[in-house]
């Protein structure tokens, strides 16, 4: 079964009693038992729930593995992986511009209990090999990264990770299984912020962990129940609904992103466009090899003053100024004051996240409308810059 068909058919047969084509929501906390301890596979919804189980089956099938566990958020999913595999004294390697919340989780929760969090430029294979020689427990990869869309070679990092006995975890949120299959490139564990493209409508928070090996998955499944950060059945049902159109949606998101990246790269107020689908993007060749599409996010470094950049982000007609990404409605974000504000400014600048960077998550609107909206804002910045230049030259 191919991916677009999996999205609609896996674990979603018609309901047997009434024939309802869409499986119902099992909005229940508990299940009646025939006799003490004898039940039909479900006893309590924190432990297992039929709607959640359907969603886990679909996600596992999309990533091409047998094991998935969904959580109440992407960070709860990440936390389960880290709690399962990182002990005081263990080392984890991360790339510099990993998602801000992941950075905070590692540095504010796991580092204080004695875990060693080391930031390495994964594009520098020699540096990665040197750091790996210290036997890290986990190598954590996000590709494309948030927000600069850097691309890392998953297969190359997986060879280094496995040569040193580390687990390779890949955050596949940005690419989605439509464009990237990390397990086929050597990942041991894949995590998702389901909140984004998988659910796809900016109406819920959810996360997922997937694993190929039962033995790798077991501690995560245990923590899902033991710690209890599970999503509600209704949210699982909404995600099942969202996933039915996943393939169509992410292709359209990517078409809109490419149109925006190509057009804005020529605008004088845009210093730099980050989009792996552009030939000039440093990760373009690797992305073309390991992905089947370049994703839906575009980041822009603007030439104006920070105040102008903030004004640009605040006044778009179709791009709501909001955290998050991957929904049908376009969003714009100023990472320095929003998603990545938890990273100290010096550190942010060091890893290449200037205050003039904006991240766009083009939705499914008409590309022409989105472009008009962005160009209106950029032209305003350009006019202000021209006036400033004229005033300076008259002095
Ligand atoms: C790449 C990436 N991973 C993980 C997360 C965390 O997911 P959540 O917000 O669902 O907890 C995010 C959130 O923005 C993200 O962008």
DSSP state of 206: -
What percent of the chain clears pLDDT 70, i.e. is strictly above it?
100
Q: Looking at 243, 277, 307, which one is the last position of a domain? A: 243
What percent of the chain clears pLDDT 90, i.e. is strictly above it?
87
Which residues fall within 8 angstroms of residue 211, CB to CB, at 6 or more apart? 65, 67, 188, 189, 190, 217, 220
- Which residue is closest in CA terms to ligand 1's atom 14? 324
Q: Is the pLDDT of residue 394 over 80?
A: no
Contact (CB, 8 A) for 131 and 124: no
Which pLDDT does position 352 carry in this prediction? Answer: 84
Which pLDDT does position 211 carry in this prediction? Answer: 98
Torsion sign, CA atoms 97, 287, 9, 199: positive
Ligand 1 center–CA 105 separation, angstroms: 11
To which residue do tokens 């179709």 refer?
Answer: 318
Which pLDDT does position 395 carry in this prediction? Answer: 67
Rounded Cα distance, 293 and 21, in Å:
32
Which pLDDT does position 340 carry in this prediction? Answer: 84
Cβ 143 under 6 angstroms from ligand 1: no
Q: Looking at 221, 243, 265, which one is the last position of a domain? A: 243
Give 55-69 pLDDT, tens digit per residue: 999 999 999 999 999
Which residues fall within 8 angstroms of residue 145, CB to CB, at 6 or more apart? 95, 97, 98, 99, 151, 152, 174
Contact (CB, 8 A) for 64 and 181: yes
Mutation test residue for ligand 1: of 95, 101, 229, the one with most atoms within 8 Å of CB: 101
pLDDT band for 298, please (50, 70, 90 cuts): very high
Ligand 1 center–CA 291 separation, angstroms: 20
Ligand 1 center–CA 366 separation, angstroms: 26
Q: Is the pLDDT of residue 334 over 70?
A: yes
Contact (CB, 8 A) for 191 and 208: yes
What residue ranges in 303-384 does DSSP mark as E strands?
Answer: 320-321, 331-333, 357-361
Give 263-297 pLDDT, tens digit per residue: 999 999 999 999 999 999 999 999 999 999 999 99
Assign residue 272 the CATH number of its domain: 3.90.1150.10
Contact (CB, 8 A) for 156 and 125: yes
Residues 162 and 258 reside in one and the same domain: no
Residue 274 CA to chain centroid, in angstroms?
16
Ligand 1 center–CA 302 separation, angstroms: 25
Number of domains in the chain: 2
To which residue do tokens 């992407």 refer?
Answer: 74
Range of the domain at 48: 3-243
pLDDT band for 39, please (50, 70, 90 cuts): very high
Q: Looking at 243, 268, 295, which one is the last position of a domain? A: 243
Cα 245–Cα 246–Cα 252 angle in degrees, nearest 5: 90
Cβ 145 under 6 angstroms from ligand 1: no
Ligand 1 center–CA 272 separation, angstroms: 24
Assign residue 31 the CATH number of its domain: 3.40.640.10
Mutation test residue for ligand 1: of 70, 71, 74, 81, the one with most atoms within 8 Å of CB: 74
Higher pLDDT, 202 or 122: 202
Please state whether the predicted TM-score (pTM) of the whole model is above 0.85: yes
Give the nearest ligand 1 atom to 194 CA. 10
Residues 103 and 154 reside in one and the same domain: yes
Rounded Cα distance, 312 and 100, in Å:
23
228, two tokens: 């209890």
Q: What Cα–Cα distance (Å) separates residue 329 from each residue in 63, 179, 201, 325, 375?
A: 25, 20, 7, 9, 18
Contact (CB, 8 A) for 81 and 191: yes
Mutation test residue for ligand 1: of 195, 200, 326, 343, the one with most atoms within 8 Å of CB: 195
Which pLDDT does position 96 carry in this prediction? Answer: 85
Cα 263–Cα 282–Cα 257 angle in degrees, nearest 5: 30
Contact (CB, 8 A) for 139 and 129: no
Q: Is the pLDDT of residue 390 over 90?
A: no
Which residues fall within 8 angstroms of residue 317, CB to CB, at 6 or more apart? 373, 376
What residue ranges in the chain does DSSP mark as E strands?
Answer: 67-71, 91-94, 116-119, 138-142, 167-171, 189-193, 207-211, 270-274, 298-302, 320-321, 331-333, 357-361
Average pLDDT over residues 172-196: 98
Residues 274 and 341 reside in one and the same domain: yes
Residues 222 and 257 reside in one and the same domain: no
Rounded Cα distance, 76 and 235, in Å:
15
Residues 68 and 156 reside in one and the same domain: yes
DSSP state of 23: P
386, two tokens: 């021209």
Residues 191 and 78 reside in one and the same domain: yes
DSSP state of 82: H
Residues 191 and 117 reside in one and the same domain: yes
Residues 103 and 27 reside in one and the same domain: yes
Residues 90 and 218 reside in one and the same domain: yes
Cβ 142 under 6 angstroms from ligand 1: yes
Cβ 79 under 6 angstroms from ligand 1: no
Q: Is the pLDDT of residue 89 over 70?
A: yes
Which residues have a catalytic role annotated? 46, 99, 171, 196
Ligand 1 center–CA 193 separation, angstroms: 5
Cβ 101 under 6 angstroms from ligand 1: yes
Mutation test residue for ligand 1: of 99, 145, 333, the one with most atoms within 8 Å of CB: 99
pLDDT band for 105, please (50, 70, 90 cuts): very high
pLDDT band for 41, please (50, 70, 90 cuts): very high
Residues 37 and 175 reside in one and the same domain: yes
Residues 226 and 369 reside in one and the same domain: no
- Which residue is closest in CA terms to ligand 1's atom 8? 74
Rounded Cα distance, 384 and 390, in Å:
10
Question: For the chain, how big is the Rg over CA atoms in Å?
Answer: 22
SS3 333: strand
Residues 328 and 359 reside in one and the same domain: yes
- Which residue is closest in CA terms to ligand 1's atom 11? 74
């Amino acid at each position: 079964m191919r991916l677009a068909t999996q999205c609609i058919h896996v674990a979603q047969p018609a309901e047997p009693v009434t024939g309802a084509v869409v499986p119902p929501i099992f909005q229940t906390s508990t299940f009646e038992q025939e006799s003490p301890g004898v039940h039909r596979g479900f006893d309590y919804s924190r432990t297992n729930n039929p709607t959640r189980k359907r969603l886990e089956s679909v996600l596992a099938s999309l990533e091409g593995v047998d094991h998935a566990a969904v959580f109440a958020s992407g960070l709860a999913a990440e936390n389960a992986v880290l709690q399962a595999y990182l002990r005081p004294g263990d080392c984890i390697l991360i790339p510099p511009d990993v998602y801000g919340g992941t950075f905070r989780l590692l540095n504010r929760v796991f580092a204080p209990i004695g875990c060693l969090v080391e930031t390495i430029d994964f594009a520098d294979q020699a540096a990665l090999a040197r750091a790996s020689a210290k036997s890290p427990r986990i190598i954590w990869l996000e590709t494309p990264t948030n927000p600069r869309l850097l691309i890392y070679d998953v297969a190359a990092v997986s060879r280094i990770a496995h040569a040193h006995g580390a687990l390779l975890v890949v955050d596949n949120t940005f690419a989605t299984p439509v464009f990237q299959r990390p397990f086929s490139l050597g990942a041991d564990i894949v995590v998702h912020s389901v909140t984004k493209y998988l659910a796809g409508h900016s109406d819920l928070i959810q996360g997922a962990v997937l694993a190929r090996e039962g033995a790798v998955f077991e501690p995560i499944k245990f923590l899902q129940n033991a710690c209890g950060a599970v999503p509600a059945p209704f949210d699982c049902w909404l995600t099942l609904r969202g996933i039915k159109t996943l393939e169509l949606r992410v292709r359209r998101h990517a078409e809109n992103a490419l149109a925006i990246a190509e057009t804005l790269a020529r605008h004088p107020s845009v210093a730099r466009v980050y989009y792996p689908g552009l030939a000039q993007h440093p990760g373009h060749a690797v992305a073309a090899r390991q992905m089947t599409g370049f994703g839906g996010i575009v980041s822009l470094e603007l030439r104006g003053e920070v105040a102008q950049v903030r004004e640009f982000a605040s006044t778009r007609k179709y791009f709501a100024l909001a955290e998050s990404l991957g929904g049908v409605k376009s969003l714009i974000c100023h990472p320095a004051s929003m998603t990545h504000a938890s990273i100290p400014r010096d550190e942010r600048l060091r890893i290449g996240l200037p205050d003039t960077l904006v991240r766009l998550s083009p939705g499914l609107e008409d590309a022409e409308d989105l472009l008009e909206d962005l160009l209106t804002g950029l032209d305003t910045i350009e006019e202000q810059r021209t006036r400033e230049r004229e005033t300076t030259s008259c002095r």
